[in-house]
Structure 1
Amino acid sequence: MTIQVAKLSHPAVRDFVSAVNAHDRDAFRAALAPGATMSDDGSERDLDDWTAREIFDSHGHMEVDKEADGGLALLARYSNDAWGEMRTRWSFTVDDGGRITHFATGQA
């Protein structure tokens, strides 16, 4: 059962997923703290390169099935034009200002 984006528990994660699904680069960057980092399947990646390739240039989309850890961990069906749909896990670290400092994703 999919959780509607507006019903996601954590505001920063809600903003992140909303920006991904709207393909809104400005809103995506606004959800991230300056100097934010990310990893994919346990390997650190260049945030700008990865998000351009895996989200924005390939029309990435998240359908969240489950959340945990106060909304900072998600299980989602992620799809894009490059890879099709896959089951993925996402976890987020958020600073005191409510912006994401790190996110990690990978196949679930």
Structure 2
Amino acid sequence: MQAYFNKEWVEILKALGHGTRLKIVIELLEHGTKCVTDIQEILPVSQANISQHLTVLRSAGIVDFTQSGAQRCYFVRCPELVGGILKLLKNDPKDNEKKESKCCIRP
């Protein structure tokens, strides 16, 4: 049986699958628009590396930017959607086991 996956969702999940990109997205969600230099102050990663990660996030449609002169300031395009995805990713499978054990009768 072949599963069908929406290509856009696959790209979004792949982009969020890297720790640094995930941290960038969380930072943007929690604190709003940030420029590359602002992100660099928070994460121990080079400016070039942050720019590469932002390019991946932008290609996946997760972030976009506004430009003022030479400075690009990034923001999350759909905060509700991305926040919902992150909430799902944060779910602890152990919590689900606890819920299942309360509602299921086991012999």
Quick check: TM above 0.5?
Answer: no
TM-score by length of 1: 0.27
Structure with more helix by fraction:
2
Q: Which has the larger radius of gyration?
A: 2
Larger strand proportion of the pair: 1
Bigger relative contact order, structure 1 or 2, given CA contacts below 8 A and separation 6+? 1
